Amino acid sequence: MSNKLNGKVAVVTGASAGIGLAAAKRYAAEGAQVFITGRRQSELDKAVAEIGNGVIALQGDVANMDDLDRIYSAVKAQAGRIDVLFANAGFYELGKFGDISAEHFDKTFNVNVRGLLFTVQKALPLMPDGAAVIMTGPIASIKGFEAFSVYNASKAAVRSFARSWIVDLKPRNIRINVLSPGHTQTPGLDGLLNDDIKAMLAAGTPLNRIDTGDDMANAALFLAPPESSFISGIDLFVDGGYAQI
């Protein structure tokens, strides 16, 4: 590795599996002091063993304000600042229009919108000028998928947040970008789609496959260090071209 993040402090939410885990591994391998969060301690323990490099796990739910305060208090005590925040924690479940419940709506928006907002806002006092924020906002923000209307809408909010926050944070030169994966091979996708459907999605992607964790980690690394210092407010699609056709 090239130690692109040597001396940096990174926080990755929702990092016990999937995209967050892949990004945390890459950040740690590139020299960052990495803190990861997740709701399940057992999964965090597995992630710590897999990541290594002195990663620190902080259990908590981003939809819980007390948990966020506790997480950031720990980061402050142990590292003093946050140079890179990858706000990746998210929630999804099917909810067909006509049968959507208030509980389904609240669970989705509490994590993907409310939780995201306060994940970033509560981190601001720990972020030096010029820090980087990356938020996960899949292609669902611009595509229509059956039984995913609430999830899709919650991810459209992520894109809107980025556009507004870069203006609010202009005096501090804090960069905020959205990383939008396509259909990514994660444990969550395995629970949602069978191999035949994944093969169909791969065939419908211009680059003839679905995303991997490494694809997303590469993009998350690009948006973090000085190489992307003049990139802010973008929605970077890492989907093999799926959302463009």
DSSP 184: B
DSSP E strands, the chain: 9-12, 33-38, 56-59, 84-87, 132-136, 175-181, 235-238
DSSP 72: H
Sign of CA dihedral 103, 109, 112, 118: negative
69 within 8 A of 122, measured Cβ to Cβ: yes
Chain centroid to Cα 210, Å, comes to 18
72 among known catalytic residues: no
Collapse the DSSP code of 209 into the 3-class scheme (helix H, G, I; strand E, B; otherwise coil) and give the result.
coil
Distances in whole angstroms, Cα of residue 172 to Cα of each of 38, 129, 142, 164, 176:
29, 5, 29, 14, 12
Per the listing, tokens 């999964």 go with 43
Q: Which of 27, 72, 151, 242 is catalytic?
A: 151
Per the listing, tokens 């998350």 go with 220
108/208 Cα distance (integer angstroms): 31
Q: Point out the residues that are catalytic.
A: 151
